[in-house]
Amino acid sequence: MPKHPAVACAACAAVVLLMVAGCAGGGEGGAADGDLSGQTIEVAAVWSDQEQVAFEKVLDAFERKTGATVTYTSAGDELPTVLATRLAGGAPPDVAVIAQPNLVKTLAKEGALVPLSQETARLVEADFAPSWRDLGTYDGRLYGVAFKAANKSIMWYDADTLGPDFRPPLQWDDFVDVLRNRADVGETPLAVGGADGWTLTDWFENVYLQTAGPQMYDDLAAHRIPWTHPSVRTALQKLNEVLRPEFIPGGIASALQTEFTGSVVKVFGDRPSAAFVYEADFVAAAINKSTSAVVGEDAKLFPFPQIGDQDSVVGGGDTAVVFSNKPAASALVEFLASAEAASVWVEQGGFISPNEQVQLSDYPDAISRSIAEELKGARTLRFDMSDLMPTALGGTKGDGFWKAMQDHLADPAAVDEILAALEAKAATVYAAG
């Protein structure tokens, strides 16, 4: 999801370090016990609309439990920019929930974050798998709690359009055949939200993980291999099999002007122009907000089609961190680490918890359970590649990885020039640290 280079750049880092010295303090930041009445804290996160309503119910539960007052700021895709600006101004929120692990580690390295309390660390050690603990750990200390997980290996479809005899194509070649067959009779079966570059990077990440394998995925994410590596071209060629103009409503030009929510509406709106849309479990929230379709009835899903014998899932997540020494801030993140907090959102739907104390049976419907089961049961699980990269490369609108995938969608024949430009950008970003 979106990030911003201002957070990671050297010039900003110097300013941030000076401004946050009075905010983070360097204390242990242990969670407070007992009554927190009279304390007011601010938490900032990306969630808006229905997700904001759900998260605010979690915050309401914390307020009832502690007596503290919590105000919520929705920064959307601009959260990294908002944090950079407010840190530079010496007024960060008390708590933030961040989608980019690289940003969490950068902020911890710069001294902007308060280490979490020993009690929170014990909860995370007991209830979270190592891969989730690692997202909030820097230099051996825990700075963040993974609160919300995302399964980014899901294909959604309109059951009404496809009819009762439709059987989801679980293999890539079968999926391509379905798209081709529907296009042959004049349909445009696949909606693509290419105006949001992160949707295209998510497409690429799923294909790359399956065609190149997990070790190469890790190497590319860390820039141990260049973007001009043959494995990248192989994945893009495979992706070209489905991102074809004849498969997409309005063709490529329309896809590049369609945002994520618009792609969902093209499938599940009142006048559907496509039958399939790819994206994570949060598609359900877009369906509920922007269409009259019912998830699990009109809107159904199947795993991202398998290429060869690779059984893999790309995941994402949102990590809660603390910027202030207020006891209520530490207490809130300790609460977010608990199964109690997760259960508040789980029962509302549209939420997957990385907390292992949350059981599959706790999810309110078959769709939620299947999404969680796919994420937890994957033989190969890797975190969203763009979120692992420095912000300037992996999450800047109109630049870096996002722009390269948009450029490739617009002109696949220019792949050599596109990858060369992306590699030059990557080399500069990683050299800058």
Nearest of 56, 36, 77, 314 to residue 201 by alpha carbon:
314
Closest to 276 measured CA to CA, from 196, 202, 191: 191
Say if residue 17's pLDDT is above 90: no
- Identify the pLDDT of residue 340: 96
- Please state the rounded mean pLDDT for residues 285-310: 92
CATH of 154-313+386-431, one of 3.40.50.2000, 3.40.50.1370, 3.40.190.10, 3.40.50.300: 3.40.190.10
Give CA–CA dist 202/288, Å, rounded: 22
Residue 241 has a pLDDT of: 98
Neighbours of 402 (CB within 10 A): 23
CB 119 within 8 A of CB 31: yes
Q: What pLDDT digit, counting tens, does each position of 108-123 carry?
A: 999 999 999 999 999 9
More confident residue, 27 or 70: 70
> How far is it, in rounded angstroms, from Cα 6 to Cα 24?
20
Count other Cβ atoms within 10 Å, centred on residue 291.
20
1 has pLDDT over 80: no
- pLDDT at position 131 is 85
Region at 42 (left for phi over 0; alpha for psi -120 to 50; beta for the rest): beta
338 phi/psi in degrees, rounded to 5: -90, 155
Give the tens place of pLDDT for each residue, 159-212.
999 999 999 999 999 999 999 999 999 999 999 999 999 999 999 999 999 999
Under the banding of pLDDT at 50, 70 and 90, the label for residue 48 is confident
Which residue from 94, 77, 98, 85 is spatially nearest to 16, judged by alpha carbons? 85
State the pLDDT at residue 34. 66
pLDDT at 15 over 70: no
Q: Please classify residue 420 by burial: count the beta carbons closer than 10 Å to its beta carbon, then call 0-12 exposed, 13-18 middle and 19+ buried.
A: middle
The residues facing 97 across adjacent strands are 320
Each residue of 232-263: pLDDT tens digit? 999 999 999 999 999 999 999 999 999 999 99
Per-residue pLDDT at 38 exceeds 50: yes
Query: pLDDT grade, residue 379 (50/70/90)?
Result: confident
Q: What is the overall mean pLDDT for the chain? A: 90
Contact of 214 with 225, CB cutoff 8 Å? no
Strands 276-278 and 154-158: antiparallel
Whether 23-151+322-376 shares its CATH topology with 154-313+386-431 is answered yes
The pTM of the full predicted model, rounded to 2 decimals, is 0.83
* Residue appearing with tokens 């010039």: 11
Spatial distance between the Cα atoms of 31 and 283, rounded to a whole number of angstroms: 34
Q: Is 206:153 a contact under the CB 8 Å cutoff? A: yes
Q: Are strands 144-151 and 312-322 parallel, antiparallel or unpaired?
A: antiparallel
Q: Check whether 3 has a pLDDT greater than 80.
A: no
CB-CB neighbours of 226 under 10 Å: 16
* Nearest residue to 272 via CA among 416, 193, 160: 160
Taking the domains of the chain in order of start, what are their residue ranges?
23-151+322-376, 154-313+386-431
Distance between CA atoms of residues 262 and 245, nearest Å: 17
State the Cα–Cα distance between residues 276 and 304, nearest whole angstrom: 11
Query: What's the confidence (pLDDT) of residue 209?
Result: 97
Among 227-236, 241-250, 302-311, the minimum mean pLDDT is found in 302-311
- What's the whole-number mean pLDDT along residues 356-384? 89
Distances (CA, A) of 143 to 41, 94, 124, 277: 18, 13, 11, 36
In the CATH scheme, what is the homologous superfamily, with its name and number, of domain 23-151+322-376? Periplasmic binding protein-like II (3.40.190.10)
> What local confidence, expressed as pLDDT, does residue 78 receive?
83
> Mean pLDDT, to the nearest integer, of 13-30?
37
**Whether 169 contacts 305, CB under 8 Å:** yes
Q: Which of 73-77, 188-192, 372-376, 392-396 has the highest mean pLDDT?
A: 188-192
Question: Does 328 have pLDDT greater than 50?
Answer: yes
Read off the pLDDT of each residue in 62-80 and give the average, rounded to a whole number. Answer: 93
Note the pLDDT of residue 163. 96
